[in-house]
Amino acid sequence: MSIKSVDERRLREVALTPDEYRVIVEQLKRAPNEVELGMLGVLWSEHCSYKSSKALLRRLPSTGPGVVQGPGENAGAVEIGQGWSVVFKIESHNHPSAIEPYQGAATGVGGIIRDVIAMGARPVALLDSLRFGPLPESRHHFEGVVAGVGGYGNCIGIPTVGGEVFFEDCYASNPLVNAMCVGLVRTDHLMRARAEGAGNSLMLVGADTGRDGIHGASFASVELDEKRSERRPAVQVGNPFLEKCLLEACMDLSHTDAVVAIQDLGAAGLTSAVAECAGRVDGAGARIDVSRVPRREREMTAYDVMLSESQERMLVVVRRGREREVETIFQAWDLTSAVIGEVTDDGQLTVFDGDDQVARVPVRLLTDGVPMRRLVGLPPEPPYGLEVDALPPLADVGATLLRLLASPNLASRRGVFRRYDHMVGDSTVVAPGGDAAVLRVKGTRLGIAVTTDGNGRYCHLDPHLGAQLAVAEAARNIVATGARPLAVTDCLNFANPDRPEVYWELEEAISGLAYACRMLEVPVVSGNVSLYNDSGGESGIYPTPVVGMVGVMDDYGKRLGAGLRAEGDFVLMIGSSHNDLGGSEYLKVEHGHVAGRPPGLDLTRERAVHRLILSAAQSGYLHSAHDCAEGGMLVALAEACLLGGLGVRCPAMRPEPPLRLDAAFFGESSSRFIVSVPSRAMPEMQSLARRHNVELSLLGLAGGDIIEFEGQMKVSLSDLRTAWESLIT
């Protein structure tokens, strides 16, 4: 059988290369038929197979003391104590959101929720990490995505408690929409999507199947081209109401022992759900009959049904003979369920359409057969350097602060998160607006802190360091609430890896993530890769690894907020500042450059600072804590004031050379926090800092309604607030 027997156009349609086709023919010892070709095409797509990135992902640490489920399942799981585990994962929905912002974002949220449900966990929180081109041009995308995230999350009743929004030129044609879901489960109820037990039934539950998003997965793996419109039917309309019913029914289900496993249907629909479930069990196979799949549309072919990406569906592996029980549970929620096949032990995925066999492919060929792509990485020309000494000195501190606070990347996100129900569930004990959000675990004193972070600009300037900084920043956000960083989920958003400089960025970023996660002892338990974010013939997005992190605290009564709390408190800076202006928001906003090296990072020092903050929080010395991130110390200080509704009065800032004044105020040095301490706790705080060998300096005293650095700046909170809330329309 030669390659000539298949039309090259057809191969392109299913996104397979001639080489891959050759492997298929070799393995099957025959040419695949149409249905088989379609099935292999989607599962061998980058999106499903990770053929360009899998080798690199192995570098990430994925084990640790608390890890009960690492990568490989629908979501990762980590024990948090008292019999509870937290389950979480992040996923991209970049390409669909580029085409239809509302529905793309909405179905992204719907998809990640199902991953958590499949683990038997109840979803308790959502986060959204977003990147757009600059405003105002990107307003349509920005508004649509935010409305879509809210539209789904608000309706289904899971609080959206965190995320990020960045605006940068490189995302103009390639907006990024990453959604993260966090769930809770009793550790002994954790489920795994394994098709165990030949003879057990496969049931499809939830929405009817339509011709939605056929080839969506392969579509996510190619560059968006000019002919977008031809692929437009790939956009799907989500039904959060149906998913809410599905969620509750699955929760009811996970309390029975009639069920062996639950698997969500995501990209590549039924094909991937069945193959993945079977693929997780040695020797397992499945036999399904597409004529038993409930349809939304008439005249659907076996091909359509196998590749449909209709939302809000789940595959349930049911113990033989217990199908009725499952049906009853779904009926109670007015949901359809249908037995569509059974688990076998022949290692084959066999598909029937009524009496006709329409496909038979070894499960292993589907899930692990794709040849890994060996790409080459070549470092690009290093981004032009930054002559810090050539920068003009800081002219007007107050005016600069106002401009920074009003800049789209630093302005308050209240206009975003007030459109999200972030309170439903009665568990949000630290609301969005500060650093990480904190949710209590009802019935215990445990609190979990959640955040997403990633700075594409840093990664563009130095992907290895930038990725480390993302992990460190996420950890800092967790620590700022008084929680211990626990584990990570990551979403790797990159341009076309076939370009050597992009592949190099990917390699570097993954190494950086791996290194930082090892050093901070936060294993990566789940994640997602989104490549080919470079439509429109531009150079593509900055390398943008996004880190989702979860932390835990034993007593949420000791949680900290970012805002100042009491008049007269000492406002301190923890950590030390350097001339870290490279890649800073200050450099971009005030000088129009994206240049230089990102802030240096010493992860041993970073850890020492975390230990200090956590032990001070534990001892009750702190009234608030906020990390210094984009915008540097003065922006962090202003945020702490605005969030707390309290000003601060400081002596003039006199940095010791070679530290520059602009860097002291607006540099983005790592490993720093702004904390407030009641005066009585100051001596203890100071000795604690000495013990941890961490620099502590007094910035000023909390109180009043202005921020003042004597003789250098004096701005009222209300002026600052007006600037900060500029994004709210």
Partner 1 sequence: MIARVIVTPKPVVNDPQGLTVKQGLGALGFTEVTDVRVGKYIEVKLEDGSEHEARRRVEEMCRQLLANHVIEDFHFDLEQEHKRR
Partner 2 sequence: MKFGVVVFPGTWSDRDCGWVVDQVLGHELTYLWHKDTDLGGCDCVILPGGFAYGDYLRTGAIARFAPIMEKVGEFADRGGLVWGICNGFQVLCEAGLLPGALIRNASLEFRCEWTNLLVERTDLPFTAKCGERDVLRVPIAHGEGSYFADPATLSRIEQRGQVVFRYCDADGRVVPSANPNGSLHNIAGVINTRGNVLGMMPHPERCSEAELGGTDGLKLFRSVAENAFKVLVS
Ligand X SMILES: Nc1ncnc2c1ncn2[C@@H]1O[C@H](COP(=O)(O)OP(=O)(O)O)[C@@H](O)[C@H]1O
Angle at 401 between CA 396 and CA 403, to 5 degrees: 95
Residue ranges in contact with partner 1 by CB under 8 A: 99-100, 103, 207, 210-212, 232-233, 235-239, 241-242, 296-297, 310-311, 334
Of residues 99 and 431, the one with the C-beta less far from partner 1? 99
The binder of ligand X chosen from 21, 417, 532, 673 (CB under 6 A)? 417
Angle at 260 between CA 259 and CA 265, to 5 degrees: 90
Q: Buried b / exposed e across 316-343, counting CB within 10 Å, b at 16+?
A: bbbbeebbeebbebbeebebebbbbbbb
The binder of ligand X chosen from 52, 138, 160, 533 (CB under 6 A)? 160
Among the listed residues 667, 702, 672, the one whose alpha carbon sits nearest the alpha carbon of residue 605: 672
Give the nearest residue (CB) to ligand X: 163
* Contact residues for 299 (Cβ-Cβ < 8 A; gap 6+): none
* Contact residues for 423 (Cβ-Cβ < 8 A; gap 6+): 159, 431
**Amino acid symbol at 297:** E
Residue 236 binding target from Mg ion, ligand X, partner 1, none, CB below 5 to 8 Å by type: partner 1
Residue 434 binding target from partner 2, Mg ion, ligand X, none, CB below 5 to 8 Å by type: ligand X
Among the listed residues 449, 400, 402, the one whose alpha carbon sits nearest the alpha carbon of residue 428: 449
Q: Provide the pairing of β-strand 336-344 with 259-264.
A: unpaired
Residue 310 binding target from Mg ion, partner 2, partner 1, none, CB below 5 to 8 Å by type: partner 1
Minimum gap (Å) between residue 239 Cβ and partner 1: 4
Let me know: does 125 contact 161? Beta carbons within 8 Å. Answer: yes
Rounded Cα gap, residues 567 and 549, in angstroms = 33
Residue 671 binding target from partner 1, partner 2, Mg ion, none, CB below 5 to 8 Å by type: none
Binding part of the chain for ligand X, among 381-389, 431-439, 595-603, 694-702 by CB under 6 A, reads: 431-439
Residue ranges in contact with partner 2 by CB under 8 A: 147, 150-151, 154-157, 239-242, 244-245, 333-334, 417-426, 428-429, 431, 440, 442, 556-557
Name residues contacting ligand X, limited to 627-666 (CB under 6 A). 629
| Active-site annotation holds for 189 | no
Residue 100 binding target from partner 2, Mg ion, ligand X, none, CB below 5 to 8 Å by type: none
93, 464, 610, 692: the catalytic one is 93
Of residues 137 and 426, the one with the C-beta less far from partner 2? 426
Residue 264 binding target from Mg ion, ligand X, partner 1, none, CB below 5 to 8 Å by type: none
Q: Report the DSSP beta bridge partners of residue 594.
A: none
How many CB atoms are located within 10 Å of the residue 59 CB?
15
Name residues contacting ligand X, limited to 477-496 (CB under 6 A). 477
The binder of ligand X chosen from 163, 210, 240, 266 (CB under 6 A)? 163
Let me know: does 253 contact 33? Beta carbons within 8 Å. Answer: no
Q: Report the DSSP beta bridge partners of residue 349.
A: 286, 361
Residue 285 binding target from partner 2, ligand X, partner 1, none, CB below 5 to 8 Å by type: none
Among the listed residues 177, 273, 229, the one whose alpha carbon sits nearest the alpha carbon of residue 541: 177
Of residues 397 and 436, the one with the C-beta less far from ligand X? 436
The binder of Mg ion chosen from 201, 477, 530, 584 (CB under 5 A)? 477
Minimum gap (Å) between residue 232 Cβ and partner 1: 5
Residue 341 binding target from partner 2, ligand X, Mg ion, none, CB below 5 to 8 Å by type: none
How many CB atoms are located within 10 Å of the residue 64 CB?
17
Name residues contacting ligand X, limited to 107-136 (CB under 6 A). 128, 130
Q: Based on the shown chain and the rule CB under 6 A, indicate whether residue 365 belongs to the binding site for ligand X.
A: no
Of residues 440 and 672, the one with the C-beta less far from partner 2? 440
**Cis bond leading into 383, ω under 30°?**
no
| Active-site annotation holds for 93 | yes
Among the listed residues 172, 366, 158, the one whose alpha carbon sits nearest the alpha carbon of residue 251: 158
CA 656 vs CA 492, 507, 560, 576, 579: distances in Å? 39, 38, 31, 12, 11
The binder of Mg ion chosen from 46, 91, 435, 580 (CB under 5 A)? 435
Chain residues in the site for Mg ion (CB under 5 A): 435, 477, 627, 629
Active site residues: 47, 93
Chain residues in the site for ligand X (CB under 6 A): 128, 130, 160, 162-165, 413, 416-417, 420, 432-435, 453, 477, 629
